[in-house]
Amino acid sequence: MPKEVGYEDAMSASQVKAIWNNIYARIKPGMNEQEQRAVRIAFYVYAAKNGTSRVGSYSAKIVLSNGTEIDAAILPQATGPMGIRKFFRGNMDEAYVALKDSKAMERDPRFVAKVSDLNIGAEAAFATGDWFTNCALFTPAEKQAHQKSFDASVERARRTRNGHTLESVEHQRNQRSLEVQGPMHGEEVTL
C-alpha cells in the first residue's frame, strides 16, 4: 500500500506547508503559531469572498485582527497563478473548519446578500468557496449550497466569455498581446 497518493487538483501536505512558510516569511519572519493561524484564516476568508481563479486580480488588502496589512498578491507570488486553487484544495479540511467555526462569512452582509440570491442561507454561505469541490466534511445542505454556487458561477462565466473556455479566451488575449508587440527579432515583416 502506498504511503500517500495525491489528487491532481490539490497540493500535497508538504507542498501546502512549504507555501504557508513562504507566505509567513513574506509577511513577518518568525511568526508564532497564533499569528500563523490568523493569517491562514484571513486567506480562507479572502478566497471565499473573491474566489481562487488564476485570472483573479489579487489586488485587495487583507487586514488581520492585530492591524497587520497583507497584500492579497502574496498568494499568486507564493503559489504561482496556476497553483492558487490547488493550494486551497490542499487546505480544504482546515479551511472548512475555520470558516464554519468562525462564522466569518455569515457575518458579512454583502456576502450573505450575494448567496441569498441563490437561495443559500447564511449558515451555508462559507460552503460556496470555489475550491470546496468534493469536500468530504460537507453536510448535505452545505454540499447543495456549494453545487448551486458552482453551477451559477459556471453559467456566469460561460455568458461572460460568450460560450468560450477560459483557455481559449486566454489564448486569444495572448495572441492579441503578441500582435500589439510586433514581430519578434529576426522575423520578416511584409508590407
| pLDDT score of 42 | 96
37-44, Cβ contacts within 8 angstroms, sequence gap of 24 or more: 38/64, 38/65, 38/66, 39/64, 39/70, 40/91, 40/94, 40/98, 41/98, 41/99, 41/102, 41/104, 42/70, 43/75, 44/88, 44/91, 44/94, 44/95, 44/98, 44/99, 44/129
User: Is 191 within the bounds of a domain?
Assistant: no
**Residue 188 neighbours by CB under 8 Å, 6+ apart:** none
Does a structural domain hold residue 173?
A: no
**pLDDT (0 to 100) of residue 164:** 61
Percent of the chain with pLDDT over 90: 66
- Residue 163 pLDDT: 62
Q: Evaluate whether residue 149 is within a structural domain.
A: yes
pLDDT digit string, tens, across residues 111-156:
999 999 999 999 999 999 999 999 999 999 999 999 999 998 888 7
The pLDDT of residue 190 is above 60: no
Average pLDDT of span 90-105: 96
0.95 exceeded by pTM: no
Q: Over range 83-111, report the average pLDDT.
A: 95
Residue-wise pLDDT tens digits, 34-70: 999 999 999 999 999 999 988 889 999 999 988 999 9
Look at residue 130 and tell me if it is in a domain: yes
Instruction: Answer yes or no: is 120 within a domain.
Output: yes
Q: Which of 17, 75, 15 is nearest to 42 (CA)?
A: 75
User: 184: which DSSP letter?
Assistant: P
Number of compact structural domains in the chain: 1
Q: Which residue has the higher pLDDT, 186 or 112?
A: 112
**pLDDT band at residue 161, thresholds of 50, 70 and 90?**
low
* Per-chain mean pLDDT for the chain: 88
Q: 165 vs 84, which has greater pLDDT? A: 84
Q: Give the helix ranges, DSSP H, for the chain.
A: 13-27, 33-50, 74-79, 84-90, 92-102, 109-116, 140-160, 166-181
Is there a domain that residue 187 lies in?
no
* Residue 46, domain member (yes or no): yes
Residue 111 lies in a domain: yes
Give the range of the structural domain holding residue 156, as residue numbers without chain letter.
13-160
- Largest separation between any pair of C-alpha atoms in the chain: 65
How far apart CA 154 and CA 160 sit, in angstroms, is 10
